[in-house]
Chain A
Amino acid sequence: DTGVSQNPRHKITKRGQNVTFRCDPISEHNRLYWYRQTLGQGPEFLTYFQNEAQLEKSRLLSDRFSAERPKGSFSTLEIQRTEQGDSAMYLCASSVAGTVTDTQYFGPGTRLTVL
């Protein structure tokens, strides 16, 4: 069990550019989540997958954000036309479906800085 991994760990980009982040969940975890965390705040839910199906999206997820999990394994989060307000830590978590309340295990995050 190598834990949830995220790449890259840090990304600096200019306003208007597109960025893509990758998350590899714990193997055998069929649920995958994306969160955004800004300084001094708790993580905010963005979206959630069960296998390859995207089952829930927050209204925080504007049209510029898209997430995929094509084969029910890794996931990508793309932000198009980045804005300075997108600067944050993007966290991925995974869990196993089938319990009353799934425990979500988090990755180290990708810190995005938009200049």
Chain B
Amino acid sequence: EDQVTQSPEALRLQEGESSSLNCSYTVSGLRGLFWYRQDPGKGPEFLFTLYSAGEEKEKERLKATLTKKESFLHITAPKPEDSATYLCASISGGYQKVTFGIGTKLQVIP
């Protein structure tokens, strides 16, 4: 069974303090690794899809990277509006089932 583990579960940063969120996965036949952002009471908002080890994608202050065992979401100089839960998810096999981690709840303090 596919497993996706995210750490830390919660992270508190000062505004401007860069950090990284970790997503480790045990997936048979990984086809893609997603990152989503979720605000309280809302649905997940798509950020990135990574397909193969070594791939990197960037969007504003966020950069996602992928290795054969884990993915990182790097946040550079975060702002309070970056506060949210960040979810990592894998897709594998011949169908469209996505397995999510429990997320990292990020709080950025002004």
Contact = CB atoms under 8 A, between A and B. Distances in A.
B102 A42 contact: yes
A39 B7 CA distance: 17
Q: Is the interface of B mostly helix, strand, loop or mixed?
A: strand
A79 B87 CA distance: 27
A25 interface: no
Interface stretch (A11-19, A65-73, A95-103): A95-103
B95 A42 contact: no
A8 B92 CA distance: 31
Nearest to B91: A101
B103 interface: yes
A42 B101 contact: yes
B102 A109 contact: no
B43 A91 contact: yes
**Which interface class (under 10, 10 to 19, 20 to 34, 35 or more) fits B?**
20 to 34
Contacts of B69: none
A104 B34 CA distance: 9
B44 A43 contact: yes
B43 A109 contact: yes
A115 B34 CA distance: 35
Given A40-B102, A45-B97, A108-B42, 17 more contacts: A42-B87, A42-B100, A43-B44, A43-B100, A44-B100, A45-B99, A56-B97, A58-B97, A100-B32, A101-B31, A101-B51, A104-B34, A106-B36, A106-B43, A106-B44, A106-B45, A107-B43
Interface of A: 4, 31, 33, 40-45, 48, 55-56, 58, 91, 93, 95, 100-109, 111
24 contacts: A4-B43, A31-B96, A40-B102, A42-B89, A42-B100, A42-B102, A43-B87, A43-B98, A45-B97, A48-B95, A48-B97, A56-B96, A56-B97, A95-B96, A100-B31, A100-B51, A101-B32, A103-B46, A104-B34, A106-B45, A106-B46, A108-B42, A108-B43, A111-B41
